Chain A
Amino acid sequence: MHNLRAFFRRFRVFLLFVLLQVFALSNYFTSLNFPRSQYLTTASSIAGSFLSIEFEITKHWNLGTNNEKLQKENIRLRKKMPNSFIRLNNGIVKINDTLYKQQYEYIPSIVINSTFDKRNNYFTLNSGSSQGIKRGMGVFSDKGIVGVIHNVSENYSVVKSVLTSDINLDVMIESSGAFGLLKWNGINSRIGSIDGISNDIKIKKWSKVVTRGGSGIFPRGLMVGKIKKLGSVEGKPLWDVSIVYSEDYRKIQNVYIVKNLMQEEQNKLEDKIPEDKEE
């Protein structure tokens, strides 16, 4: 007993160090995949309000370019409005569309904090559960996809952006339909890669890469980027595809959050698939 007490006294600094280190590291590694709480992220109200103040100060720096972007999008959308079309056929009256049903809704939001040159980059948005945002929803901007909601508090939310190591969104090449998983290697914030495309599929350079819409996080066909370089993975029959993101994540400010009205239905159906049993 005496020896034990002496041992603890002798190594108490080291023991405390190890204890705290274990706490910090376990928090870090579990949060990369599944956040345990919102209190130690920018989704917490204290950190969120600090960042809101900072955003209020710095938001004007990119005001010009952001206005221009929104204006362009407005023009594009305005073109699609009914009053910008001439009616060609007066005989058709639209009553209740039973062929199409709304599947996706969009919630606008603003990025109040973002980084782009860390290994894992998270963006903070200024809207949260009170606006109907839930964990796992997709986020995109007018130019391309941004990421997936990782953590939500009442008024803020944290996005796990495509600039993280294990984002693994399913994307496809628009022309051929070949699909793979989106990855990021952590070096250049403009360049990502696609994993898992078999090398017997012909791929052209500069063809468009869009979302596949398989998991219901994003609607099908949202822009991701363009193929920049093709190579082969050593020892595997796979292409090594690098793509240039269509969105510049260094200047991102206005984003939309995807709300899939049929997500529950899809999940319910997919839960019925029997899982492979490992023996």
Chain B
Amino acid sequence: MKIVIVHTLRFLFFVLAQSLIFNQLEVGFGIHPMIYPLFIVLLPFEINTLLLLLIALITGLCIDSLSNTYGLHTSSLLVVAYLRPIIFKIFAPRDGYDANKEGSISEMGQRWFIYVFGILLLIHHFWFFMLEMFKWNEILLILKKTILSLPISYLLCVLLQVVFVSKPKER
């Protein structure tokens, strides 16, 4: 029960932060920071993929309805949710995932997080900007937007975890 409440609060936080803060940040150079893929990655390891897709759908629709993108965020987030189990499987630790843990930096380590989250975020950003432009002769602009936005989104996600997610551990 506790885990449901935690993730519901996180859901509210990510939806509101993305649509009211990060969508309004207009840095220039086509940079568009997107942090909500972190919400999907932080969901429990054991979660059913069908449920995961439905959660992604709801999250995406909420963000879309607050930022006039009509399904752009939903589509990108569905890709992340669909690929999550596959990427997780590739980078699984030798003795499998611990059901008590979650996919954050502090619990899974820097190395795992860079690979898993980096790849998912790259795919998400590329998909998003590709759909937003939807023209092959603008491929350079798509790549530029992806490459410039990716580090910013990644750093923001790391900072968010340092500030909010990580708990002091005694071991």
Contacts and interface: CB of A to CB of B under 8 A. Distances in A.
8 contacts: A12-B50, A13-B82, A40-B61, A50-B16, A54-B20, A113-B24, A115-B24, A186-B141
Interface residues of B, number: 38
Interface string B44-79: 000001100100110011001111111110110011
B96 interface: no
B95 interface: no
Interface size class of A (residues with CB under 8 A): 35 or more
Interface string B112-147: 000000000000000000011100001001000000
A39 B75 contact: no
Contacts of B60: 24
A40 B78 contact: no
Nearest to B19: A50
B132 A118 contact: yes
Q: Is the interface of B mostly helix, strand, loop or mixed?
A: helix
Contacts of A32: 70
A156 to B, nearest CB: 11
Nearest to B81: A17
Contacts of A14: 82
Given A21-B75, A25-B75, A50 B20 contact: yes
Interface in B1-31: 16, 19-20, 23-24, 26-28, 30-31
B65 A118 contact: no
Interface string A7-22: 0000011101100110
Contact of A124 (B30, B68, B79): B68
Interface of B: 16, 19-20, 23-24, 26-28, 30-32, 49-50, 53, 56-57, 60-61, 64-72, 74-75, 78-79, 81-82, 131-133, 138, 141
A187 interface: yes
A206 interface: no
Contacts of B133: 119, 186
A20 B69 contact: no
A43 to B, nearest CB: 9
A27 B69 CA distance: 10
Interface in A13-59: 13-14, 16-17, 20-21, 23-28, 31-32, 35, 39-42, 44, 46-47, 50-51, 54
B26 A28 contact: no
A28 B71 contact: yes
Contacts of A12: 50
Q: By CB atoms of chain B within 10 A, which of A12, A13, A24, A186 has the most?
A: A24
A165 B56 CA distance: 28
Given A116-B26, A250-B26, A17 B82 contact: yes
Contact of A50 (B27, B66, B81, B141): B66
Given A115-B24, A117-B30, A28 B72 contact: yes
